[in-house]
Amino acid sequence: MSDAAQKAGPGVSVPGLGLLLVTSLMWGLNWPFVKYLLTALPPFSIRAASGLIGTALVLGIALARRESLRPPAGQWGRLCLAAGLNVSAWMALTTLSLLWLRASETTILAYTLPIWSALLAWPLLGERPTAAQVFGLLLGLAGVGLLVAHGAPGEADPWAKLPGVAFALAAAMLFALGTVLAKRAPVAMPPTALVAWQTGLGLLPLLVLWMLLERPDFAGLDTRSWLALIYGGALAFGLAYVTWFAALRRLPASVATIGSLLAPVVGVMASAMLLGEPLGLREVGALALTLGGVALAAFAR
């Protein structure tokens, strides 16, 4: 990058850091809330209902900003693919993983996605991984192995949680694929309008699964469950994406990405405090290994 291009990019600002902190808190806190909701609702109902709330909020913000909601001609395929990978697959698979894993475990596994982005960028973008990035992959896999080497809650068999591990890693890999494809062929739309379209289109498969497979009892939800559902839709699914893009406009991409790694830390800590999940050497070690690997994979050159 030229000196002129570097000077043209955003610098570090206090408002940008504040927006980044708020975004990471909203995303991180949502993991234990979704885990809690699984005691009252089936998985696709949770994501579809919260997604409807979030999409309506983001759409309202885009309209208030008078952003153009019309996708550019010839880019519908890109838009639908991004929605499928970054919304449908991510929401469905991470929620399914919570049926087998603790919220803290799913959080750690889901945030391996920068590792897979670095690997997928090689064949798709021609960005060959460096030795440091390969080492980051090994660190991240060591963190995954540390999680897998422990049985599911109440079970001594470490293999019992493998379906959850597979769902979480598949979600991270597919989201990473969507990220790399978007970098190669981005959709030229205003950011909030783009989020509204992606969430709206991505919700369609979840709504179909909800209607075909599940019979949720929303009337039987208690106050805490309703608050968790509204939080997941309005904040984690809706407002967090708005604050994320606002942070990106005010911060260098590298600073924003490093700051987003606060989200899994918040998720692990919140899961321990709100759900009583264990927070011992295994969990801290897995988190440290995974985030260390993610940082190397994302930023080593």
- Residue 235's pLDDT is 95
The two tokens of residue 176 are 């990473």
4 part of a folded domain: no
- Residue 232's pLDDT is 95
- Residue 261's pLDDT is 79
* Cβ–Cβ < 8 Å for 117, 61: no
Instruction: Please state the domain count of the chain.
Output: 1
Provide Rg for the chain, Cα atoms: 19
- Residue 274's pLDDT is 94
Give the containing element (helix H, strand E) for 298. helix 281-299
289 part of a folded domain: yes
- Residue 17's pLDDT is 86
Give the containing element (helix H, strand E) for 146. helix 131-148
d(CA 85, CA 90): 7
75 part of a folded domain: yes
- Residue 283's pLDDT is 84
- Residue 79's pLDDT is 92
The two tokens of residue 150 are 């422990």
Give the residue numbers spanning the domain of 247. 12-299
Would you write out the chain's pLDDT as a tens digit for each of its 301 residues? 334 434 444 566 788 889 989 999 999 999 999 999 999 999 999 999 999 999 999 999 999 999 999 988 888 999 999 999 999 999 999 999 999 999 999 999 998 887 888 788 888 888 787 788 788 888 888 888 887 766 544 555 667 888 999 999 999 999 989 888 888 888 888 889 998 999 999 999 999 999 999 999 999 999 999 999 999 999 998 999 889 888 877 877 666 666 777 888 899 999 999 999 988 888 888 889 888 887 777 666 5
- Residue 1's pLDDT is 35
At residue 188, φ and ψ (nearest 5 deg) are -85, 85
DSSP letter for 159, please. Answer: G
* Cβ–Cβ < 8 Å for 283, 264: no
- Residue 3's pLDDT is 42
277, amino acid identity: E
- Residue 8's pLDDT is 42
The Cβ-side half-sphere exposure at 56, using a 13 Å CA radius, reads 9
Q: How many residues does the chain have?
A: 301
7 part of a folded domain: no
2 part of a folded domain: no
At residue 274, φ and ψ (nearest 5 deg) are -90, -30
90 part of a folded domain: yes
The closest of 202, 195, 242, 196 to 85, measured between CA atoms, is 202
5 part of a folded domain: no
- Residue 270's pLDDT is 93
114 part of a folded domain: yes
The closest of 241, 192, 301, 184 to 20, measured between CA atoms, is 241
d(CA 126, CA 72): 27
Burial call 191-222: b when 16+ CB within 10 Å, e when fewer: bbbbbbbbbbbbbbbbbebbeeeeebeeeebe
**For the whole model, what pTM was predicted?**
0.86
Give the containing element (helix H, strand E) for 227. helix 223-230
- Residue 139's pLDDT is 85
